[in-house]
Amino acid sequence: MDQMNFPSGHRSGYVAVVGKPNVGKSTLVNALVGHKVAITSPKPQTTRRRIMGILTRDDAQVIFVDTPGFHDPKSALNQYMMREVENALSDCDAILFVVDLTTAPDIADVTVADRIKKMNQPVVMALNKADIADAGRLAEFTAMYQGILGSQNTVYTSGVDIRDENMNELLQMLIAHLPAGPELYPPDQYTDQPEKVLAAELIREQALRFLEQEVPHAIAVSVDQFAARPNHTLFIGATIFVERDSQKGILIGKGGAMLKRIGSEARREVEKALGSKVYLELWVKVRPAWRRDEGAVNELLGITE
């Protein structure tokens, strides 16, 4: 679409997707975009950086910016994550505030609502997980969430049911708040993540899936080798970093069983995402207390700014 000439009524813009941890922001973004652009996990703080998901339609291009959950930034990693949230809010045209309708709002939800109310951007609230919420308390919880935001601009959603009519209603509400304009990205592009970054995230997703306790949160993944081979196979060599030797032992597992399991499932996900056969090789290294070291956080998350 020509940047100077676009159909009458066409809209485009950025939607910051915010909320406390574990409300289903990434699952909802994946459903809205129609592609897996963000990894998901029931564990808190799965999302560590802004992740862009691009939905292109005839009438609009919506750029969803998935963000880490609002939390108290105690470490260098947490501080970086909250900067990502603030950056997304400062650059957006509209805000999608996601809450978990299976529970009443808590202080974390109120904190997010208070921050949003200081912004000038229009806000739509997704009352998420409506499909599994207690029907007997649906009206009560809905009124409570509308109360903390001071708005009834809300929609019931479920990130696992993309056929839900409410998802279309949500999209229409968001698009109505976007400025008139042309497509900002090519119509076939659905994320801004480089393939190496996406591969690293998909590896970390499987570590989150299979590991328990503190170990998943101490993990960072760096893709060191990413090259096409003559046999049409993509070779990916990645290092999984942990903070302690004990975590390294758990990650590798007895006889290497856990690392093999993570690698096998990650390879399938990477192949699905990249549309190519993949040979995946994983190593594990200890980087003591990397989450508390700003330089290490910048290095391991690939931050170059």
Tell me the C-alpha distance between 78 and 94, whole Å: 24
Q: Are residues 155 and 251 in the same domain?
A: no
Can you give the pLDDT at residue 257? 97
Q: Return phi, psi of residue 25, to 5°.
A: -60, -50
Q: Are residues 159 and 217 in the same domain?
A: no
Can you give the pLDDT at residue 271? 96
pTM greater than the 0.75 cutoff: yes
| Boundaries of domain holding 131 | 11-176
| Residues 6 or more apart in contact with residue 53 via CB below 8 angstroms | 29, 30, 32, 33, 35, 37, 38, 63, 64, 66, 190, 191
Can you give the pLDDT at residue 161? 61
Please write the tens of the pLDDT for every residue from 26-59. 999 999 999 999 999 888 889 988 999 999 999 9
185 falls within a domain: no
Where a domain ends, among 147, 176, 205?
Answer: 176
81 falls within a domain: yes
Low-confidence spans in the chain with pLDDT less than 50 = 304-305
| Residue 251 belongs to domain with CATH number | 3.30.300.20
Q: Which of 248, 208, 223, 196 is nearest to 300 (CA)?
A: 223
Q: Are residues 224 and 152 in the same domain?
A: no
Can you give the pLDDT at residue 230? 84
Where a domain ends, among 108, 143, 176?
Answer: 176
Can you give the pLDDT at residue 304? 44
115 falls within a domain: yes
Can you give the pLDDT at residue 305? 40
Q: Are residues 169 and 210 in the same domain?
A: no
